[in-house]
């Protein structure tokens, strides 16, 4: 596993090409400025997987740390990741 910051999508794409079989731990989505779409475009492997995305601050401080806000933030990120993965798989299959 490699640790690759979400704020470096170009480097992530280079690393994905060099290491298509490795998983990446990806900190930096959300509060640190990493872009989810750029991260997924650069880092997903051929199976539409291979990323362990961390958005700690963006989740634990959502809504001032209120439990319901934290749940919602985590669910929204989960949904966004899976929607983008599914979109990428449809594009990949039709190409």
Residue-level pLDDT at 93? 46
Name the strand (E) or helix (H) holding 53: strand 51-53
What is the tens place of the pLDDT at every residue in 59-80? 999 999 999 999 999 999 999 9
Average of per-residue pLDDT across 73-88 = 92
Q: Which residue has the tokens 């999508």?
A: 9
Q: What is the dihedral of CA 78, 79, 84, 87, to 10 degrees?
A: 140
Q: Which percentage of the chain shows pLDDT scores above 90?
A: 82
Residue-level pLDDT at 40? 96
Residue 54 and residue 6: Cα distance in Å, rounded?
9
51 pLDDT more than 70: yes
């Amino acid at each position: 596993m490699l640790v690759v910051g979400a704020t470096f999508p170009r480097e992530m794409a280079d690393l994905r090409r060099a290491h298509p079989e490795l998983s990446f731990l990806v900190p930096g989505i959300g509060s640190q400025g990493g872009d989810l779409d750029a991260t997924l475009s650069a880092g997903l492997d051929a199976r539409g997987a291979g990323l362990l995305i961390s958005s700690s601050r963006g989740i634990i401080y959502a809504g001032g740390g209120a439990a319901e806000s934290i749940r919602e933030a985590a669910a929204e990120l989960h949904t966004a990741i899976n929607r983008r993965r599914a979109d990428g798989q449809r594009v990949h299959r039709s190409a």
